[in-house]
């Protein structure tokens, strides 16, 4: 189970996908939308991806982790709008022993963040938006009202 989705992430399905009677450890990571970013209230996050390339990169990252730690990997990332408290990304890794499962899980999320063509836009409660690269659109200002700090 490796891919992108427009629907809520099913954590149990990821764990089931990596379950193996030969593996004694399963590590998971779930990244959720925080209520605040840069001291501004957040309404949601929006994700866009270059789908084909993102999935290819996720598969490559999973294969690297599998090779390095003998792990089974599942990873799913959301596209579209993700509300506060909802998962944006989830990784599950199983391995013979817990240190390998933890290492594989951490490797996958760290490499995904560094390499996958998936872009995040913060939607602030005041209507403004901020892309992860720092590009901002302050809708409140554009509409003529006072910008929020």
Q: Which residue has the tokens 């993700």?
A: 82
Q: How high is the pLDDT of residue 9?
A: 97
CA dist 81 and 46 (Å) reads 4
**pLDDT in the model for residue 132:** 76
**Model confidence pLDDT, tens digit, residues 5-40:** 999 999 999 999 999 999 999 999 999 998 887 778
Q: Does residue 138 surpass a pLDDT of 80? A: no
The topology under which CATH files domain 2-142 is Aldehyde Oxidoreductase; domain 3 (3.90.1170)
Distance CA 117, CA 107 (A): 17
Quote the pLDDT of residue 146. 30
Query: pTM of the prediction?
Result: 0.85
Q: What is the number of residues in the chain?
A: 149
User: Residue ranges of the domains in the chain?
Assistant: 2-142
* Segment 93-137, tens digit of pLDDT: 999 999 999 999 999 999 999 999 999 999 999 988 888 753 444
- pLDDT, averaged across the chain: 89
Residue 51 confidence (pLDDT) above 80 = yes
Contacts of 76 (CB under 8 A, 6+ apart): 1, 2, 3, 4, 5, 9, 14, 89, 90
């Amino acid at each position: 189970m490796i891919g992108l989705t427009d629907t809520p992430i099913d954590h149990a399905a990821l764990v089931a996908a990596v379950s193996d009677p030969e593996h004694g450890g399963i590590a998971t990571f779930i990244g959720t939308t925080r209520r605040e970013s840069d001291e501004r209230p957040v309404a949601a996050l929006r994700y866009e991806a270059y789908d084909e390339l993102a999935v290819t990169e996720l598969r490559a990252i999973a294969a690297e982790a599998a090779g390095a730690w003998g792990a089974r990997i599942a990873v799913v990332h959301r596209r579209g709008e993700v509300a506060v408290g909802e998962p944006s990304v989830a990784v599950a890794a199983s391995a013979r022993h817990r240190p390998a499962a933890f290492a594989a899980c951490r490797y996958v999320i760290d490499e995904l963040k560094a390499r996958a063509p998936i872009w995040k836009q913060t939607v602030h409660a005041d209507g403004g938006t901020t892309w992860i690269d720092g590009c901002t659109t302050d809708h409140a200002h554009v509409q003529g009202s006072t910008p929020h700090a």
